[in-house]
Amino acid sequence: MEHEYVAMKGATMKEVAAHAGVALSSVSRVLNNHPDVSEAMKRQVHDAIAAVGYEPNLLASSLRRGSTKTVGFIASDISNPLFAEIVLGAERRLDEAGYSMVLTNSEGNPERDETMIRLLRRRRIDGLILSVADEDRPGTIAELSKLAEPVVLIDREVSGFHTASAVFTDHSGGMRAASEHLLSLGHRRIALISGARSLRPVRERLKGFEAAFQTRSLQVPEDLLRFGSFSAPFGQQATAELLALDDPPTAIISGGNLLLTGVLRALQAGQRSVGRDISLISCDDVPLAELHTPPISVVDRDAVQMGEAAASLLLELLAGGDRPRVAEVPTQLLLRGSTQSLVVD
Partner DNA sequence: AACAGTACTGGTAACGTTTTCAGTAGACCA
Partner DNA sequence: TGGTCTACTGAAAACGTTACCAGTACTGTT
Binding range to a copy of itself, per CB under 8 A, among 43-51, 58-66, 198-206, 240-248: 58-66
Could you say which of DNA, a copy of itself, none residue 36 binds, taking C-beta under 5 to 8 angstroms by partner kind? DNA
User: Residue 155 binds which one of a copy of itself, DNA, none, with CB within 5 to 8 A depending on kind?
Assistant: none
Residue 23 interacting entry, from DNA, a copy of itself, none, C-beta within 5 to 8 Å by type: DNA
Query: For residues 191 and 328, what is the distance between their CA atoms, to the nearest angstrom?
Result: 27
The secondary structure element, H or E, covering residue 323 is none
The contact set with DNA (CB under 7 A) reads 10, 12-14, 21-26, 28-29, 31-32, 36-38, 40-41, 54-57, 60-61, 63-66
Between 25 and 79, CB nearer to a copy of itself? 79
Answer for the pair 314, 150: CB distance below 8 angstroms, yes or no: yes
Q: Which stretch binds a copy of itself (CB under 8 A): 103-111, 127-135, 246-254, 319-327?
A: 103-111
Question: Using CB distances below 5 to 8 A depending on partner kind, what does residue 41 bind out of DNA, a copy of itself, none?
Answer: DNA
Question: Which residues on neighbouring strands pair with residue 73, listed in sequence order?
Answer: 103, 129
At a CB cut-off of 8 Å and minimum separation 6, what does 287 contact?
none
Check: CB of residue 172 under 8 Å from CB of residue 207: yes
The residue count for binding a copy of itself (CB under 8 A) is 49
Q: Which is nearer to a copy of itself, 174 or 275 (CB)?
A: 275
User: Which option in a copy of itself, DNA, none does residue 305 bind, with CB closer than 5 to 8 A by kind?
Assistant: none
Between CA 343 and CA 345 the distance in angstroms is 6
Q: Say if residues 152 and 165 touch (Cβ distance below 8 Å).
A: yes
3-state secondary structure of 36: coil
Cβ–Cβ under 8 Å, residues 71 and 312: no
Binding test (CB under 8 A) with a copy of itself, winner from 211, 225, 240, 288: 288
Closest CA to 133 of 152, 154, 110, 117: 110
> Could you say which of DNA, a copy of itself, none residue 309 binds, taking C-beta under 5 to 8 angstroms by partner kind?
none
- CA 183-188-192 angle, 5° bins: 90
Binding mask 262-281 for a copy of itself (x = CB under 8 A): --xx--x-------------
Beta bridge partners of 333: 299
* 3-class DSSP state of 154: strand
The strand pairing partners of 166, in sequence order, are 153, 326
The residue ranges that bind a copy of itself (CB under 8 A) are 7, 9-10, 53, 55-60, 62-63, 68, 78-81, 84-85, 87-88, 91, 100-105, 107, 119, 121-124, 146, 148, 232, 260-261, 264-265, 268, 286-288, 290-293
